[in-house]
Amino acid sequence: MTNVPHPHAAAPAIDIQVQSPLWAAQPMAEQTVRAAIAAAATMLSTKNGELGIVLSDDSSVQALNRQWRGIDKPTNVLSFPSGVAPNGPAMFGDIVLAYETLCKECDEEGMNFLHHLAHLTIHGFLHLIGYDHGCNAEADEMEGLESKIMSAMNLPDPWLGCEPGREMGGA
């Protein structure tokens, strides 16, 4: 297992809920998520705020994907931006991650689970703060940021060798 570096800067307040017992197989998952958010927030100067992370499973993510996006299948990550709370820190929103889909993608593409988890967490966080990949220019910008943040964490570039604008999931 590869260790994920500890963040050096303060990160947004993060509430992590483990909804699926499957995540017990990855004891470094919560630390990885926190490090990924801290790295993204530091690079993008968005340290003040709060967000929720839900470590879930395919069936729960499929239900959310069906309800909110009209797509009746699981996906790796979903983001639910919430906007700014009055009289308080920014409420970035929630990120929901599906354990089985992450495992399947890692198996199919030969990826390290924690590296992929970090990447998807960063991807979801970028959606929370307004980034999108609806067109090629947006996808290029978002993928570039994801690569820079992963590099800042001393993790491999998730886009190295991939087609530009590749679909990342539900985010």
**93-143: pLDDT as tens digits:** 999 999 999 999 999 999 999 999 999 999 999 999 888 888 888 888 999
Instruction: Give the pLDDT of residue 4.
Output: 46
CA distances from 171 to 9, 70, 152 (A): 25, 13, 22
26: exposed, middle or buried (C-beta count within 10 Å: 0-12, 13-18, 19+)?
middle
Instruction: Give the pLDDT of residue 165.
Output: 46
Amino acid identity, residue 97?
A: L
**What pTM value is reported for the model?**
0.86
Percent of the chain as helix, strand, coil, to the nearest 5: 45, 15, 40
**25-74: pLDDT as tens digits:** 999 999 999 999 999 999 988 768 899 999 999 999 999 999 999 999 99
104: exposed, middle or buried (C-beta count within 10 Å: 0-12, 13-18, 19+)?
middle
Mean pLDDT of the 68-84 span: 91
Cα–Cα dist 43/29, whole Å: 21
Q: Report whether 61 contacts 102 (CB < 8 A).
A: no
pLDDT tops 60 at residue 166: no
Instruction: Give the pLDDT of residue 162.
Output: 63
- Those residues with Cβ within 8 angstroms of residue 47's Cβ, 6 or more apart along the chain or in another chain: 9, 10, 11, 12, 41
Regarding the domain delimited by 13-152, which CATH topology (the fold level of the hierarchy) does it fall under?
Answer: Collagenase (Catalytic Domain) (3.40.390)
Instruction: Give the pLDDT of residue 48.
Output: 80
